[in-house]
Chains A and B, each alone.
Chain A
Amino acid sequence: DTGVSQDPRHKITKRGQNVTFRCDPISEHNRLYWYRQTLGQGPEFLTYFQNEAQLEKSRLLSDRFSAERPKGSFSTLEIQRTEQGDSAMYLCASSRPPGTSGRGEQYFGPGTRLTVT
């Protein structure tokens, strides 16, 4: 169990550019979540997957955001035409369903810190 990894750890981009982040979950976890967190706030739900299926996307998320999990393993989160308001920490988490040696607790990656200038 190597934990959840995210790449890159930091990204600085200019407004209007596209960025893509990658998340590699714990291998036996079939659920994967994306969150956004700003200073002093809790993680804000963006979207989640069960295997390769994207089950829900936050209504707060504009069409500039898209996520994929093509083979039910790693996931990518793309932000198109970035805006300064997109500056935040983007967290990925994974979990097993409850009852399968655990309670469905989420294991978080270290996050990707995005700065849009």
Chain B
Amino acid sequence: GQNIDQPTEMTATEGAIVQINCTYQTSGFNGLFWYQQHAGEAPTFLSYNVLDGLEEKGRFSSFLSRSKGYSYLLLKELQMKDSASYLCAVVNTNAGKSTFGDGTTLTVKP
């Protein structure tokens, strides 16, 4: 079966750092994506991990531990526009089929 767990909601302050965790148990692993989804809009790609370790991309970083079935997304210098849902998605097959978590709704407060 497929199981991806993320916290439902998180709140953080503008300018701060927040870490959104994702744990997974899936059949097949070919990488893990993080997507951002603003309310009423489509998801947009943020980051990708296939090997263990940290991938940094501007204010966003993502970490993967395949042995632990664990990833996190780190957002630095939070801005109000970062208020959105953050989706963790595990790529199950070589053809790119992905299983998504239910997302973490992040609210950034002034």
Contacts and interface: CB of A to CB of B under 8 A. Distances in A.
B19 interface: no
A114 interface: no
B102 A111 contact: no
Interface residues of A, number: 26
A44 B2 CA distance: 12
A25 interface: no
A13 to B, nearest CB: 21
Interface stretch (A14-22, A64-72, A76-84, A98-106): A98-106
Contacts, number: 63
Contacts of B81: none
A43 B95 contact: no
Contacts of B45: 105-107
Interface residues of B, number: 23
A42 B100 contact: yes
B21 interface: no
A33 B42 CA distance: 14
Interface in A1-59: 31, 33, 35, 40-45, 48, 50, 55-56
B97 A56 contact: yes
10 contacts: A42-B87, A45-B98, A45-B100, A55-B97, A56-B93, A56-B97, A97-B96, A104-B31, A104-B91, A108-B43
Interface of A: 31, 33, 35, 40-45, 48, 50, 55-56, 91, 95, 97-98, 103-111
Given A42-B102, A106-B98, A108-B43, 13 more contacts: A31-B95, A35-B100, A40-B102, A42-B4, A42-B87, A42-B101, A42-B103, A56-B95, A98-B96, A105-B45, A106-B33, A108-B42, A108-B44
